Structures are given as C-alpha cells and as structure tokens.
Amino acid sequence: MSNPVKIKVENINFYYGKSHTLKNLSMDIFDKQVTAIIGPSGCGKSTFIRLFNRMNDLIPNTRFEGKIYLDGKNIYSPGVDIVDIRRRVGMVFQNPNPFPKSIFDNISYGLKVNGIKNRHTIEEKVVESLKKAAIWEEVKDRLQENALGLSGGQQQRLCIARCLAVEPEVILFDEPAASLDPISTKKIEELIEELKKDYTIVIVTHNMQQAARISQYTVFLYLGKLIEYATTNELFTVPKNKMTEDYLTGKFG
C-alpha cells in the first residue's frame, strides 16, 4: 500500500515574464517518501520545487497558474498564511547559507520568529534539531562559535538542523550536496534516509546515482514538461518513455 498523498500538483504552469518555464504539470507527492526530481540543467527543477513553499512569489514578473494542495488545502488560495506554509514546507539550498551568527543563534532564530520565547524550550529544540541533523557531536562544545567557521558539509547539516527546528512536515532539498565533497555527500544522503521516517522529502539532484540511491519516486522533467514519473526502481530499470531512457543512458543532458 502506498503512503497517503502529501502534496497534490494540479495543472500548473509557471512563467518568468513571457517565458513559459513549467508546462501543465500534475502529480502526487507521497507522505514520508523521498521524491527525486531529475533532468538537465535549466529544465525547471528548482523553479518547480520552489512552488511548494511559494518561494517564487519573491521573484518579480512571474506568473503561476494551477493548484498545489498540501494536505488537501490549496496553498495558492487567497488568504493563505504564507509564513505558515514556509514553516510547514522547509527548504535547504544548493550552497550552505548559515547566518553570520553563532551556531546556537542559527538554530534558535526560526524558533524566535515563530514566537517561541521560553529559553529552556529554545535550548531543548536547538539540541534536538542538531541531533536530528547528525551534527550535534561535532558542534556541542562550539555552540557560541560563528557558524561560518564550520566546514561546507557541516554548514549544510547546520542548515538542515535550522530547517528542522521549526518542525516542518515537508523538506525541499535543492541539490543539497552539489558543492560538497564525497564524504560530506554520503553524510547528507544518510541523513535524508533517516529523515524520511518523519518527513516528506523532495530533492532536486543532477546526480542520477544519488536519485537512484536515496529516493522512492523519481520525476523526470525536460524543458518544463513532465516526461515520466514512476517509482525510482521502475524509472531506472524499465523506463516507459524513450526520452527517459536516452537521458539515463547519457545520450543527452
């Protein structure tokens, strides 16, 4: 039995100015599964996942059409609380982007923004988030040090901890290991494997081996169109679309 649908995408189109970037996309994203989005550079992968927490709203001269449901409610309906959507749907970017503050303040920032004032609660949440992001042992004696002093891989796990602190339901990863070395990449992949027990995860990756290793479902986008969407196992072993097969075997991309 498959998991329930967490995000439902219905007939979405997205435009940057006159450029029609995403074309008539529809799909279901399943709860507590890892869904990978693959495709060549510039095919709309990052634009697509940024629709799930309305990050594209911040880009001028763009237009969105369609519906995206989170737990059955359209997040593009008038009057939706966008701050709440961005708390429920967290995001981790390609390049680690810790704030130029202490490790502790990086994690506590979102808690304070969300109205948590109790020092004890904040401290508990900081520790819990760092543990969940598999970085606690490395930073527990350095919480007051500047986060920018961490290595790239540590910074990325710190950003994941920062995201986890506000208790999201969905985590969007936009090529989270693109700027990391193989050892750090492996740590991030192991962490995603662990996190899917509690969170719905959508990951954009240009690394097809990574998609094959860590996801249960894979979406293949090309030039803003959905070419194929299937379980990762099916898509990588018996793709239904010739274009998917050509992309997976390196004939283009």
110-142: pLDDT as tens digits: 999 889 999 999 999 999 999 999 999 999 999
Strand partners, 102: 146
How far, CA to CA in Å, does 127 sit from each of 73, 99, 114, 116, 188? 32, 18, 18, 15, 19
For the residues 24-40, what does the mean pLDDT come to? Answer: 97
Predicted confidence band of residue 174 (pLDDT cuts 50, 70, 90) = very high
Measured distance CA(212)–CA(141) in Å, rounded: 36
pLDDT score, position 114: 86
User: Which pLDDT belongs to residue 16?
Assistant: 96
With beta carbons less than 8 A apart as the criterion, state whether 156 and 176 touch. Answer: yes
pTM over 0.85: yes
Show me where the domains of the chain are located: 5-248
Identify the band that residue 3 occupies on the pLDDT scale cut at 50, 70 and 90: confident
Q: What is the mean pLDDT of the chain?
A: 96
Evaluate whether 32 touches 12 at the Cβ level (below 8 Å): no
- 8 A C-beta contact, residue 211 and residue 232: yes
Q: DSSP E strands: which ranges in the chain?
A: 5-16, 19-30, 34-38, 62-70, 73-74, 89-92, 170-174, 200-204, 217-222, 225-231
Residue type, 3: N
Residue 63 confidence (pLDDT) above 70: yes
pLDDT beyond 80 at 12: yes
pLDDT at 1 over 80: no
Element (H, E) at 105: helix 103-113
Query: What whole-number percentage of the chain has pLDDT above 90?
Result: 94
Q: What is the mean pLDDT of residues 56-75?
A: 97
**pLDDT over threshold 60, residue 192:** yes
Provide the token pair at 35.
């869904």
Q: Is a pLDDT exceeding 90 seen at residue 155?
A: yes
* DSSP for 106-163, written as a single string: HHHHHHHHTT---HHHHHHHHHHHHHHTT-HHHHTT-TTSBGGGS-HHHHHHHHHHHH
Mean pLDDT over 166-194 rounds to: 95
Evaluate if residue 38 carries a pLDDT over 80: yes
Q: CATH: 2.40.70.10, 3.40.50.300, 3.40.190.10, 3.40.50.261. Which one for 5-248?
A: 3.40.50.300
Q: Which helix (H) or strand (E) holds 173?
A: strand 170-174
pLDDT band for position 252 (cuts 50, 70, 90) = confident
**Does residue 2 register a pLDDT over 80?**
no
Please determine, for residue 253, whether its predicted confidence score (pLDDT) is greater than 80.
Answer: no
- Residue 23 structure tokens: 């074309």
Buried b (16+ CB within 10 A) or exposed e, 46-72: bbbbbbbbbbbeeeeeeebebebbbee
